[in-house]
């Protein structure tokens, strides 16, 4: 079983569309949507939820009004500016739960024992069936944190399912950027597919995300999406990638069929037989060859 | 000598838990006296972060010389090593089978972590 | 006035809108600053091509234990919720990469054995692009936490004039940190199912924040009833509908701004600015 993680560095390059297309082309796979704070894969795959779990990323501090002495020590010590003192100085202090990082220091030092540490449900995750195979996905409640932990949960469960049903591939739809949710998606995976676009931003961000996959020793390849928008930059990206030992496994053209497929709730390769589908198929075949050691 | 074994259940016939940080239980067996104690690892199952480190610290407090488990990440490994505990990675089986393999010298000491760290 | 430009989905045009709005305001004679808070993948500099005057490294304060003073009481290990400091029988171990810099262990140590030292996570650049002030954060590759660096970038923004904050994509803590204390929040989206879906996630995420919000629809090629209906439902005005334009896409791909490359773009941003001012006024900002 090979775990393939689709990431991008820059957002909006086409990770989700391409991951879904690959899932439809794979003979037997499991899917994991690890873009937990803006998950979109379900819009193409219409999962039937079979299991649902609550997720807690940590806790938050809560000040009990009736015990608060208004001494302000918590506010003084909080490194995250999470304790508010109302303008009317006679009223008790409160914790801004969006800013609270759950470190627990205020809970520990409050002279009146007025602060409690409360576990908080930050999101949910699901195990579902789709026409492409089982899918593990999640939804971090808007504004919450510790997405890395939720990503790890989603990946672990997806790995268990893939091992259990002898799937050939676990396809992971990653998130943009290179912070904790991306790191949590990458560590220990078999192949990173960086989907990029032929723009200076795409090129710049590709170099940074490739630096991350190298740091975590994950074999990496690149797919240039919408490559015909700027062939010169596409060629430059290909040259830069190859110079770093990163194979370009596909160039996929811009085609409005991709958006039409999205609107129809289908993968690109389900929606059209046009050249764009052929280019995605060719990229998938290269991935198979690489995974089987044929390259 | 006292040996800790990660376990999915509360007795020697339970299966080895391949996870270390999030193992359900630790069975501590004394190879000289045959004494067995079971330690719950529940508080680690819901830790926000660093379950492997916490488990390492907990095991260090159990006065064992060796640990038998399935997988150990780099941070957990660092803690166990600092505490002077030798680590042995075992194949699937029951806790009793794992302990026997250890006694028979069939398990090799692990000199590094065998899996990447997680975020949890 | 501080205006944050965010979105749920990546690639909708945050940087395009932020950069071009800045160029418009600077050209109109306003003291304007661009602040790139997409510290994981900062791109503003590619378009603004600023002259960088200073770069400073910044970090998170992490514990350093003095083994002579430490009596292994274990208080620090009990307090820490991130497993960044662990007390064994004969020593204390720290895992600085897990530390959130809360300062708790150093504060509570009864033996005063813990000092805080800086663990670098990235850099903050300051400079200017012509009349436009420029600040940007860049997270070191391999670092997991961007909010502390985002806060450092925000600290450098001036109190006067207009600051445009280019936020990271998503709806979780990096994006929320970047938009946190702005006076007006612009949400950029595109007319696709993903764009609509992620905009709604973002609208939910920011619902409890006090500042007024407006939406910019980017790459529009026709009426979008679903988007209009959703924005109406959340009581958020659509301040601009920027048409899909191949010239703009090509300019962007080369690192040119629409401002430079496409005539007639000035009107788009002039209208956006008056829309922001009017909406901010309506909400009594």
Query: A37: pLDDT confidence band, cut at 50, 70 and 90?
Result: confident
Give the nearest partner residue to C100 out of A9, A99, A101, using CB atoms.
Answer: A101
CATH number, domain containing residue B23:
3.30.420.130
In total, how many domains does chain A have? 2
In angstroms, rounded to a whole number, what is the distance separating the alpha carbons of residues C158 and C170? 26
Query: B116: pLDDT confidence band, cut at 50, 70 and 90?
Result: confident
- CA nearest to C122, candidates C139, C144, C109: C139
What residues make up the domain containing A182? Answer: 2-56+122-291
* Amino acid C181: pLDDT: 86
What residues make up the domain containing B8? Answer: 2-101
CATH number, domain containing residue A150:
3.40.50.300
Residue A72 and residue A41 share a domain: no
In total, how many domains does chain B have? 1
* Biggest CA pair distance of chain C: 71
Judge contact between A258 and A226, C-beta under 8 A: no
Residue at a domain's end among A70, A96, A120? A120
- The verdict on residue B62 lying in a domain is yes
pLDDT of residue C284 exceeding 60: no
Residue A133 and residue A72 share a domain: no
Task: Kindly determine whether residue B56 and residue C87, on different chains, have CB atoms separated by under 8 Å.
Answer: no
**Percent with pLDDT over 70 in chain A:** 99
- CA nearest to C136, candidates C6, C15, C24: C15
Task: Kindly determine whether residue A187 and residue B116, on different chains, have CB atoms separated by under 8 Å.
Answer: yes
Q: Where are the domains of chain C?
A: 2-39+157-282, 67-112
| Shortest Cα distance, chain B CAs vs residue A188, angstroms | 6
Written as six digits, the tokens of C199 are: 């905009």
Residue at a domain's end among A120, A137, A159? A120
- CA nearest to C283, candidates C235, C233, C226, C217: C235
Residue A251 and residue A197 share a domain: yes
Give the nearest partner residue to B82 out of C84, C91, C98, using CB atoms.
Answer: C91
Task: Kindly report the average pLDDT of chain B as a whole number.
Answer: 90
- The verdict on residue B49 lying in a domain is yes
**Residues whose CB is less than 8 angstroms from the CB of residue A77 and which lie 6 or more positions away in sequence, other chains included:** A105, A106, A109, C103, C107
Q: With beta carbons under 8 A apart, name residues in chain B contacting C78.
A: none
CATH number, domain containing residue A84:
3.30.70.20
pLDDT of residue A188 exceeding 90: no
Query: A127: pLDDT confidence band, cut at 50, 70 and 90?
Result: very high
Residue A37 and residue A62 share a domain: no
Query: B46: pLDDT confidence band, cut at 50, 70 and 90?
Result: low
Give the nearest partner residue to C11 out of A11, A204, A233, using CB atoms.
Answer: A11
Residue A232 and residue A105 share a domain: no
- The verdict on residue B45 lying in a domain is yes
Judge contact between B102 and B30, C-beta under 8 A: no
Nearest residue of A to residue C10 by CA position? A11
pLDDT in tens, A219-260: 999 999 999 999 999 999 999 999 999 999 999 999 999 999
Query: A61: pLDDT confidence band, cut at 50, 70 and 90?
Result: very high
* Biggest CA pair distance of chain A: 73
Domain covering C2-39+157-282 in this structure, CATH number: 3.40.50.300
Residue A180 and residue A95 share a domain: no
**Cα dihedral: A241, A243, A247, A253 (round 10):** 40
Q: Which CATH number fits domain C67-112: 3.90.230.10, 3.30.505.10, 2.40.50.140, 3.30.70.20?
A: 3.30.70.20
pLDDT in tens, A80-122: 999 998 877 677 899 998 889 999 999 999 999 999 999 899 9
Residue A51 and residue A70 share a domain: no
Neighbours of A30 (CB within 10 A): 30
Residue A278 and residue A164 share a domain: yes
Asked whether the ipTM of the predicted complex exceeds the cut of 0.90, the reply is: yes
pLDDT in tens, C29-51: 999 999 999 999 999 999 999 99
Judge contact between A170 and A2, C-beta under 8 A: yes
In angstroms, rounded to a whole number, what is the distance separating the alpha carbons of residues C227 and C192? 9
| Shortest Cα distance, chain C CAs vs residue B48, angstroms | 7
Judge contact between A276 and A256, C-beta under 8 A: no
In angstroms, rounded to a whole number, what is the distance separating the alpha carbons of residues B94 and A65? 52
Residue at a domain's end among A92, A120, A148? A120
């Amino acid at each position: 079983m090979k775990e393939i993680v689709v990431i991008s560095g820059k957002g909006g390059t086409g990770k989700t569309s391409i991951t879904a297309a690959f899932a439809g082309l794979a003979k037997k796979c499991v899917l994991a949507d690890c873009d937990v704070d803006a998950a979109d894969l379900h819009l193409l795959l219409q999962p039937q939820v079979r299991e649902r779990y609550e997720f807690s990323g940590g806790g938050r501090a809560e000040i009990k009004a009736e015990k608060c002495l208004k001494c302000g020590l918590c506010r003084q010590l909080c490194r995250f500016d999470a304790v508010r003192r109302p303008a009317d100085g006679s009223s008790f202090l409160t914790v801004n739960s969006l800013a609270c990082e759950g470190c627990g220091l205020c809970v520990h030092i409050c002279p009146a024992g007025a602060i409690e540490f409360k576990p908080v449900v930050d999101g949910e995750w699901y195990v579902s069936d789709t026409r492409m195979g089982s899918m593990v996905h999640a939804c971090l409640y808007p504004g919450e944190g510790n997405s890395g932990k939720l990503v790890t949960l989603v990946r672990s469960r997806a790995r268990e399912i893939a091992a259990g049903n002898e799937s050939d591939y676990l396809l992971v739809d990653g998130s943009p950027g290179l912070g904790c949710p991306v790191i949590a998606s990458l560590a220990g995976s078999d192949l990173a597919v960086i989907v990029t676009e032929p723009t200076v931003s795409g090129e710049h961000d590709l170099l940074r995300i490739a630096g991350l996959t190298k740091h975590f020793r994950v074999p990496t390849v690149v797919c240039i999406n919408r490559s015909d928008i700027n062939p010169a930059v596409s060629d430059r990206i290909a040259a830069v990638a190859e110079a770093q030992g990163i194979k370009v496994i596909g160039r996929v053209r811009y085609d409005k069929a991709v958006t039409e497929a999205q609107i129809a709730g289908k993968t690109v390769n389900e929606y059209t037989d046009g050249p764009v589908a052929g280019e995605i198929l060719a990229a998938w075949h290269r991935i198979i060859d690489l995974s089987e050691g044929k390259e | 000598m006292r040996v800790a074994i990660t376990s999915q259940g509360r007795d020697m016939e339970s299966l080895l838990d391949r996870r270390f940080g999030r193992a359900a239980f630790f069975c501590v067996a004394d190879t000289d006296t045959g004494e067995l104690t079971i330690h719950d690892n529940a508080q680690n199952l819901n830790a926000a972060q660093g379950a492997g480190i916490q488990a390492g610290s907990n095991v260090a407090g159990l006065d064992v010389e060796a640990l038998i488990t399935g997988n150990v990440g780099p941070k957990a490994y660092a803690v166990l090593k600092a505490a002077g505990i030798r680590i042995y990675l075992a194949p699937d089986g029951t806790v009793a089978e794992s302990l026997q393999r250890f006694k028979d010298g069939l398990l090799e000491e692990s000199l590094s972590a065998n899996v990447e760290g997680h975020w949890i | 006035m501080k205006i944050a430009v965010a979105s749920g989905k990546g690639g909708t045009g945050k940087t395009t809108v932020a950069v071009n709005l800045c160029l418009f305001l600077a050209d109109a004679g306003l003291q304007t600053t661009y602040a790139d808070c997409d510290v994981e993948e900062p791109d503003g500099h590619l378009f603004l091509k600023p002259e960088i005057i200073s770069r400073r490294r910044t970090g998170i304060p992490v514990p350093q234990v003095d083994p002579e003073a430490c009596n292994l009481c274990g208080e620090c290990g009990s307090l820490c919720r991130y497993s960044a400091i662990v007390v064994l029988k004969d020593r204390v171990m720290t895992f600085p990469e897990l530390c959130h810099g809360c300062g708790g262990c150093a504060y509570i140590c009864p033996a005063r054995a813990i000092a805080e030292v800086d663990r670098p996570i990235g850099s903050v650049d300051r400079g200017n692009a012509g009349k436009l002030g420029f600040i940007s954060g860049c997270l070191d590759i391999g670092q997991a936490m961007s909010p502390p660096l985002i806060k450092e970038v925000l600290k450098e923004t001036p109190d006067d004039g207009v600051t445009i904050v280019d936020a990271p994509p998503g709806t979780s803590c990096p994006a929320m940190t970047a938009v946190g204390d702005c006076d007006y929040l612009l949400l950029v989206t595109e007319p696709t199912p993903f764009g609509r879906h992620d905009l709604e996630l973002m609208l939910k995420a920011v619902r409890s924040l006090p500042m007024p919000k407006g939406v910019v629809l980017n790459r529009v090629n026709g009426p979008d009833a679903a988007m209009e209906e959703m924005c109406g439902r959340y009581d958020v005005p659509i301040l601009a509908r920027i048409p899909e334009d191949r010239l703009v896409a090509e300019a962007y791909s080369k690192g040119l701004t629409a401002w430079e490359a496409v005539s007639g773009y000035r009107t788009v941003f002039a209208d956006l600015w008056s829309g922001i001012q009017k909406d901010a006024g309506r909400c009594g900002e």
